[in-house]
Amino acid sequence: MSALLRVENLHKRFGALVVTDGVSLDVMPGRIHAVIGPNGAGKTTLIHQIFGTLAPDAGVIRLDGRDITRLAPHRRAQAGLARSFQITSVLPEFSALENVALAVQARAGSSFRFFRAARGQAGLNAPAMAVLERVGLRARAGMVAGSLSHGEKRQLELAMALAAKPRVMLLDEPLAGAGPEETARLVTLLGSLRDACAIVLVEHDMDAVFQLADEITVLAQGRVIAHGTPGAIREDAAVRTAYLGEDF
Amino acid sequence: MKFVVPVAIFVALALIPLLAAVGVHVPGIVTLIASRVMIFALAAMSLDLIMGIGGLPSFGHAAPVAIGAYAVAVCDAAGVQAAAAVIPAALAAAGLFALATGAVALRTRGVNFIMITLAFAQMVYFATGSLADYGGDDGYTLSARTTVFGLDLLDAKRIYLTTLVVLIAVYVLLRVIAASRFGRALAAIRQNRGRVQALGIDAFAIELAALVIAAMIAALAGVLMANQAEFVSPAYAAWGRSGELMVMVILGGLGTLHGAVIGAAIVVLAEEGLGAVTQHWPLVLGPFLVLAVLFFRHGIVGGARR
């Protein structure tokens, strides 16, 4: 089986500060690949480079064999990458349904249509509704996104990412700020997404990471210090000193 | 319910020619001021597309208006009055202007966008002032008004009705565009540009297209303005004009489209009414604008809706 998303020897520095130092990683289809590490390890910077909001100094990023290193973010999205944001990022004035319908519209590549009203289009609303159902937000479809609870906004973000039918989803701390109940619900939801696409998961909640991940890559100071199954990572001495701590 | 206010506005504007048709005496000054209101409303409405719906605060929207007006002057000097030539020339010139300047301006956000659009408009202001063949700073008086397929639809008698029809048609067009997939994407970019990009939408292309559409409508307003005054001058592109258009949109209610008509009416009437009392009328309009922004965050139309 070959990797769906392949990051090869990525380098990025801001002045004297090396934030990504030769990172390589392979994301297999249908797998959840967690990226963990202490604060400042370069996890979010890595996500930015994979998605194209930051350009790497060196290295190659391939999606299903295709070199996407120099593509603009919206082109990468069209090629099959989707991302969620560390800070909740929905369109606050739109209803939940409109948020997802926009993602469907983006997927269809059809935003240069000027004359038919978008609101009533079944071609946008039906798939959007199906995705809302999947993330458990169907009952909230008509609500303005800005008035949803924090956990619901997180679910809505996932719905927007899912609606794009991505091949790889980049999730940057999808559980940040969620309460215990919301976390449990989101973890179940994330686990169920495996069959939809591969996932790169950056997350600080270690319980969730070890519950969800099929593979884990550990970053410290911009470098990969370990990679393996959750079981192997838990036992890795270098990881324990760098990040997890002795009593994990 | 949604269309009560806009319909009421257009019915009120239609009353003037209706009353005149049934023999009521309508003073010429009323018709003149009302048609000025409508022409400004047309330009302000197009600004509302980019500023209210798209979140792009252009401080140079007088530029495409002036380009439209100068298209009339240039054609007039060449002895061409046919709208079939004048209007395409005006739309093409303003559209190209917006395409070129927009591609640069859209590299910036917020205050920088305001300043760079202002800078481009100032270039138009000084460029028109240097057009010696068209009167330079003194402006250019038209030899004749534009004709539409040989009909004098823009003469002093008929320009009111023509402007009203154009205004309603543009309003309907902009409503349709706002409700379309394009309009949805544009409104989404205002709310969260990065998110929209991440969904796979080319935000830059959407914004640029909106700037071009708005500039073309503004140019249409410029054509009407030139015909109404039978005169064109660099003052059309003055920065104060751009500011007035912004004030109209903000007073009326950002993103409402028909609010632009109310905003235009307030500004034009304040200019005419207060201007008759004191030449320092902006001293009155200024604090009024501050109050409006403080207490009617969503403009007069938006405030009434809440």
Q: How many domains does chain A have?
A: 1
Query: Mean pLDDT, to the nearest integer, of A126-149?
Result: 94
Mean per-residue pLDDT, B237-263: 93
* DSSP annotation of A243: I
Spatial strand order in the sheet of A17-27: A17-27, A5-14, A58-63, A66-67
- A99 → chain B, closest CA residue: B188
β-strand pairing of A66-67 with A223-228:
unpaired
- Tell me which DSSP letter residue B106 carries: T
Residue B143 to residues B7, B71, B72, B134, Cα–Cα distance (Å): 37, 14, 11, 12
Cross-chain residue pair A117–B192, CB shorter than 8 Å: no
- Residues from chain A contacting residue B192 (CB–CB below 8 Å): 89-92
CB–CB of B198 and A94 under 8 A? Answer: no
Q: With beta carbons less than 8 A apart as the criterion, state whether A66 and A15 touch.
A: no
Question: Taking a C-beta distance cutoff of 8 angstroms, is the pair B57, B246 a contact?
Answer: yes
- Cα angle B196, A52, A21 (rounded to 5 degrees) comes to 145
Q: Which of B52, B44, B41, B262 is nearest to B167 (CA)?
A: B41
What are the pLDDT digits (tens) for B76-85?
Answer: 999 999 999 9
- Chain B positions touching A94 (Cβ under 8 A) are 187-188, 191
Query: CATH number, domain at A179?
Result: 3.40.50.300
For chain A, give the mean pLDDT: 90
CA distance B86 to B74: 9
pLDDT of B165 above 90: yes
**What would the mean pLDDT of A4-33 be, rounded to a whole number?**
93
If one compares A245 and A80, the residue with the highest pLDDT of the two is: A80
Indicate the pLDDT class of residue B306, thresholds 50, 70 and 90: very low
pLDDT score, position A39: 86
Looking at residue A225, its amino acid is I
Best mutation target among B49, B173, B181, B256 (most A Cβ atoms within 10 Å) is B181
Nearest residue, CB atoms, A83 vs list B177, B198, B205: B198
Give one DSSP letter per residue of B200-256, joined into a string: T--HHHHHHHHHHHHHHHHHHHHHHHHHHHTEE-GGGG-HHHHHHHHHHHHHH-TT-
Nearest CB to B182: which of A73, A94, A114? A114
| Interface membership of A31 toward B (CB under 8 Å) | no
Q: Please give the pLDDT value at position A185.
A: 87
A240 compared with A190, residue with greater pLDDT: A190
How many helices (H) does chain A have, and how many strands (E)? 9, 10
Coil, helix or strand at residue A171: strand
> Got the DSSP string for A151-162?
HHHHHHHHHHHH
pLDDT classification of B304: cutoffs 50, 70, 90: low
Domain boundaries, chain B: 4-305
Query: What is the share, in percent, of chain A residues with pLDDT greater than 70?
Result: 98
How many A-B residue pairs are in contact by the CB < 8 A criterion?
A: 104
Which pLDDT value is given to residue B56?
95
pLDDT band at B94 (very low <50, low <70, confident <90, very high): very high
Residue in B177, B183, B199 nearest the CB of A164: B199
Shortest distance, CA B203 to any CA of chain A (angstroms): 8
Contact B200 A77 (CB under 8 A): yes
Residue B93: the pLDDT is 98
Residue located via tokens 């004048």: B86
Q: Region A191-199: what's the mean pLDDT? A: 90
Strand partners, A238: none
Q: Does the beta carbon of A20 lie under 8 angstroms from any beta carbon of chain B?
A: no
Q: What is the pTM of this model?
A: 0.91
Closest CA to A102 of A164, A25, A167, A26: A164
Handedness of CA B111, B116, B117, B118 (dihedral sign): positive
Predicted confidence (pLDDT) per residue in B126-146, tens digit: 999 999 999 999 999 999 999
What's residue B1's pLDDT? Answer: 58
Minimal Cα–Cα distance from B50 to chain A, Å?
Answer: 15
- The residue of chain A nearest to residue B179, with distances taken between CA atoms, is A117
Q: Over 80: is that where the pLDDT of A184 sits? A: yes
Domain limits for position A191:
5-244
Chain A from 83 to 142: CB within 8 A of any B CB = 83, 85, 89-94, 98, 101-103, 105-107, 109-119, 121, 124
Q: Determine contact: A51 vs chain B, CB below 8 A.
A: yes
Q: Report the C-alpha gap between B245 and B230 in whole angstroms.
A: 21
Which of the two residues, A2 and A58, has the higher pLDDT score?
Answer: A58
Is residue A1 scored above 70 in pLDDT?
A: no
Alpha-carbon gap: B186 to the closest alpha carbon of chain A (Å)? 9
Q: Which residue has the higher pLDDT, A81 or B301?
A: A81
Most confident of A185-199, B6-20, B201-215: B201-215
Q: How far apart are CA B228 and CA B65, in angstroms?
A: 14
Q: In chain B, what percentage of residues exceed pLDDT 70?
A: 98
d(CA A28, CA B166): 58
Architecture of the domain defined by B4-305: Orthogonal Bundle (1.10)
| Radius of gyration of chain B from its Cα atoms, rounded to whole angstroms | 19
